[in-house]
Amino acid sequence: MADYNMKKDVKQSTATSSMVIREWPSVGKYRIRAIRSVDGKMCSIDIREYVSNDEFEGFTRRGLRLVKLSEVKALIKALSYVVESGVIV
């Protein structure tokens, strides 16, 4: 797996009661972030489209939030299959 330099700064989300605890480099128009609820009870991985144009700048509703470890493992398994089988070249 690739070694990513993660931003270590913690940012408070303005739209929800959550904090960004890690942010990985952008993948195309998508941003990948680890998010923790303010109360510290829930962590999730958020993969979301980020738009920056004259009309709007910010995260869109296009994306997904993984809250269970089984969801993260299933995504890793699916992406590993895509990479190893050459589905996308």
Distance CA 48, CA 30 (A): 5
User: What is the chain's alpha carbon radius of gyration, rounded to the nearest angstrom?
Assistant: 15
What is the per-residue pLDDT for 10? 52
Token readout for 67 is 């809250």
- The domain limits of the chain are 11-85
Where the chain has pLDDT below 50, the residues are: 1-8
Q: Which fold is adopted by the domain 11-85?
A: Transcriptional Co-activator pc4; Chain A (2.30.31)
What is the per-residue pLDDT for 87? 86
Name the nearest CA neighbour of 52 among 67, 35, 31.
31
Residue 48 vs residues 30, 31, 37, 66, 85: alpha-carbon distances, Å: 5, 5, 17, 11, 26
Q: What predicted TM-score, i.e. pTM, was given to this entire model?
A: 0.72
